[in-house]
């Protein structure tokens, strides 16, 4: 168990794989969005609020491959795209979106005139 960690610490800013949950205090919505986006990683985020407008604003504002609102479950079902942003990866696996990421489209035009 860790005590209060500075916002600049690796524990607060990096992807820590294991049973670790970082809790950082914040004053308002703008500050918490800045905290969430102040990292080189962006795999999964979780937002808990009853305010429907805030749910949508936070989901749009947080740079992350997935945002869960009032729930959490990294990966989810096979029908939903999965992947991160920044150092958490690029592209998406699973879902229809993955077909686009694993497909290379080429246009060929031939004038036989």
Domain coordinates in residue numbering, the chain? 10-101
Q: Average pLDDT of 88-101?
A: 72
Which CATH architecture does the domain made up of 10-101 adopt?
Answer: 3-Layer(aba) Sandwich (3.40)
CA atoms within 13 A on the CB side of 16: 11
Residue 42 CB partners (closer than 8 Å, separation 6+)? 62, 63, 64, 65, 84, 85, 86, 88
Q: Average pLDDT of 4-21?
A: 74
What's residue 93's pLDDT? 73
Type and span of the H or E element at 11: helix 10-13
Position 74 confidence tier, pLDDT thresholds 50, 70, 90: low
Tokens 């939903």 -> residue: 80
Strand partners, 46: 68
With a threshold of 0.85, does the pTM exceed it? Answer: no
Q: Average pLDDT of 55-82?
A: 82
């Amino acid at each position: 168990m860790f005590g209060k960690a500075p916002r600049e610490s690796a524990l607060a800013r990096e992807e820590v794989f294991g049973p670790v949950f970082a809790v950082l205090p914040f004053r308002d919505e703008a500050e918490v969005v800045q905290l969430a986006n102040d990292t080189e990683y962006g795999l999964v985020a979780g937002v808990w609020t009853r305010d429907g407008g805030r749910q949508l604003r936070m989901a749009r504002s947080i740079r992350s491959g997935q945002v869960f609102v009032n729930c959490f479950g990294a990966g989810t079902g096979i029908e939903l795209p999965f992947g991160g942003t920044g150092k958490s990866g690029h592209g998406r696996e699973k879902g229809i979106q993955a077909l686009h990421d694993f497909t290379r489209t080429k246009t060929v035009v031939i004038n036989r005139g």
